[in-house]
Structures are given as structure tokens and as C-alpha cells.
Homo-oligomer: A and B are copies of this chain.
Amino acid sequence: MTIGRFFEDFQLGERISHATPRTLTEGDAALYLALYGSRYPQYCAAPYAIACGFARTPLDPLLVFHVAFGKTVPDISLNAVANLGYADVRFLEPVFAGDTVFVDSKVIGLKENSNGKTGVVYVQSHAQNQHGNPVLQWQRWVMVHKRDPQTPTGHQHVPKLKTALTAAELPVPNGLRVPDRQDHYTASKKTARDYQIGEVINHGGGITLGDSDHMLATRLYQNNARVHFDAAYMQQQPAGQRLIYGGHIMSLVQALSYTGFENALWLAGFNSGVHANPSFAGDTICAHSVIREISVTDNGIGALRIVSFGQKVASNNTRPDQLFELIDSQTLPADIVLRWDYWLVTA
């Protein structure tokens, strides 16, 4: 049975070409809509996408992320104890229906933990399309089991990771522009200038998670991590039940955030993402965001650096006015399942 790589199986500088390239289609886009219900028109309305300067309707960048991420699972994290974090995630070019995504990774860091049982693997991953153009890059680090806890590997290389992209570094799709009469299509006149640093936005709504939903999603991404699919196995584990793929929560939060960020044009990248607590079927997730940085330009295109929180609805929920203090904290309350620091290019 394939159980994935152990810490000893990784080499610093090693390049891994991940199996099963994937052609994304309108079918994937429809499923993505059904899974999350996003209402951003650039991802579901061709005339609006074209008015924004896209050649045609781009696929939601998070759909591309999840599929590309899924490719890395068999080689990087099938045997992971925990997905520890992401950094420097950049959506370099739109991906369109019909495009094929190829994914590879390079091992950029290896650090054995002091207990000898586990180590942390750092990878830089890239997705490119069938023309060889890079469409997405990201770093992540995972804790994996050692095969042999008795024999130290000596690996102590921790790479220097980017803590955050600056506004000037954000990838912006060629030709991106604010459409005429944007508010006619989005029901909002808000631009980057209308937000304030420190402002907390309640995105409203709330979505209750189900096992069929998240399994459909995670299979669509061809992510084969057993923890998401096998209830019999998970009953033997501390969680006691299937874990929901963390990216599923990101997508739910992004879909809910349409109410509040209606005129966003492009998810340019993310600075970090923390799956602070696990999510399970039956949990209800709501979303709040803190505005962290605002960038405005002369050409009408701005950018918001946002920290969004996916929150499990519970009796003692963290209050919105407490969220600003949590945007960099090391620990997070039990009701916070996601803290996600990212940049939206917006009107």
C-alpha cells in the first residue's frame, strides 16, 4: 500500500515532477460553483470577464490552486502529520477551460525535529500550462514521519520564506481593467478607497459542511489524502472522523466574501494560510475579514491585503472586534478554523 514518503526520502534540492497533469474544463467550473456558490461575475459570466480584460472567462484561481495542490499530495504529504503553512502563493496568469496544468516541486528545506520522530519538509511548487507558461507558484511546509526515529538525518536547513508580498509584487493579469458600469454587474460601487485599514467586514451567511460535499470537492482535485475519505480509518485516529480538506474552507470563505468584496477582480496571491483547527461535517462556517493594507493607483486598479477568518459557529464565538488582534498571533481560538492572509486586486 502506498503510504507516501518518509522524511528520509526527501533530498535537499530534489525536483519532483508530479503525476497526472490535468485539463480543466467548464465542467470543473460548474462543479466549483455548485460546491461553493461564489457570485464573483468574472468567474461565471463571459461578457463581464471580457469587460474586465480577460480573453475569456478565467477559472477561479482557487480551483486552480486546489487542483495543483492535489497533484503534490502523493509525493509530498500523503504521509504528513500536519500541513504547517503556505507562503508566497502567486497566481501568475489566468487559467481557462481547456488549459492543462502540469505541476512540479523542488525541496527547498529539510529540518529534523528534536524528537527524532518527524521532520519538516519545505517545497517550492510550480504549475505551468500546456504552453509552458507558469500560472501558479507557492511554497508550503509539512511535517512528515521519519521512517527510523533512531537514526538522525542531520537535516537542519530552514529556508528563508517570504512573509508577505508587497503590493508592487502582485501579479496582475495582462490587460486587466475595471469594466464600465461595474456596479451594474456587481451591485456595489465600492473601490479600494472605500475600505479602511483595520476595518472588519462580516460577510454574512453561513454554510453547513457535509461529508458528500467536501469529498466531491477533494476528489475533483484528485487529492488522495486518506484523512478526507476514509471514515473507518479516521475512527482509529485522534480526530475520530474525516477531516475536511483545508482548501475547501478557503473556497467557502472566498465565496461568502463576495458580500463585501463585490468589485474584486483577481486573487493575486496569498501570504499565508493557517488551518488553525480541523473542520468536520456538521460544522457551520461563517466568514469575517480584516483589511490589513490598501494600495490605490492612478489607473483605477487597487489592491487590498486582507486577513480572512473562517469561523465555526459556536456558542462562544470570537467577536469581530477581537479579530484584528489575531492577524499575526501565534495561537488562535478554537472556533477559528482558517486564518488566511491574501491580496485581492480590486476596483
Contacts and interface: CB of A to CB of B under 8 A. Distances in A.
Given A205-B224, A222-B33, A226-B206, A57 B23 contact: yes
Interface string A52-86: 00000100000000000000001100000000000
Interface residues of A, number: 74
A45 interface: yes
A299 to B, nearest CB: 24
A67 to B, nearest CB: 10
A210 B215 contact: yes
A186 interface: yes
A18 B205 CA distance: 19
Interface in A16-55: 17-23, 25-31, 33-41, 44-48
Contacts of A27: 25-31
Contacts of A207: 215, 229-230
A17 B184 contact: yes
A130 interface: yes
A216 interface: yes
B206 A233 contact: yes
26 contacts: A17-B184, A19-B186, A19-B262, A22-B45, A23-B44, A23-B47, A26-B26, A27-B31, A28-B33, A33-B219, A34-B216, A35-B216, A36-B219, A37-B219, A37-B222, A38-B222, A46-B130, A75-B187, A205-B226, A207-B229, A207-B230, A210-B211, A210-B212, A211-B212, A212-B216, A216-B216
Interface of A: 1-3, 17-23, 25-31, 33-41, 44-48, 57, 74-75, 98, 100, 130, 184-188, 202-208, 210-213, 215-220, 222-224, 226, 229-233, 242, 259, 262, 282, 284, 313
